[in-house]
Amino acid sequence: MPFLKSAQAKQIPVYFNGLIDNSMEKTARYLLNLIQKYQLAGIQVDPLRFDYYGINQVPALVKRCGKTFDVVYGSVALEEGLTQISRHGLCIDE
């Protein structure tokens, strides 16, 4: 999961949509494993963000600029996603 390391290097937060098998214990174990394996500062579970941005597939990269935002879907490198947004998105000037 190289995008996790890239996100941390750029101080971009990583969010998961919900619990694994509706289990806090399974989710906590999985996230702790990711945090330890990739030396991450942390990952958050926040389904409300997914609703707010209309995210219904992952991976997704969101860049917010003021009250608007851009979303890039798919397994693209973080730099490529940010480049796509800066060239074609609403957050072009950010």
Asked if the structure places residue 75 within a domain, the reply is yes
Asked if the structure places residue 66 within a domain, the reply is yes
**Mean pLDDT value across residues 57-67:** 91
Q: Do 61 and 78 contact (CB within 8 A), yes or no?
A: yes
- pLDDT of 5 > 60? The answer is yes
Asked if the structure places residue 93 within a domain, the reply is no
Asked if the structure places residue 37 within a domain, the reply is yes
pTM score of the predicted model: 0.82
1: confidence class by pLDDT, cuts 50, 70, 90? low
CA nearest to 45, candidates 59, 62, 64, 31:
31
Asked if the structure places residue 94 within a domain, the reply is no
- What is the reported pLDDT for 20? 94
Q: How far apart are CA 60 and CA 62, in angstroms?
A: 6
Q: How far apart are CA 20 and CA 12, in angstroms?
A: 22
Structural domain tally of the chain?
1
Asked if the structure places residue 36 within a domain, the reply is yes
DSSP-derived letter for residue 74 is: S
Q: Do 63 and 89 contact (CB within 8 A), yes or no?
A: yes
Domain residue limits at 52: 2-88
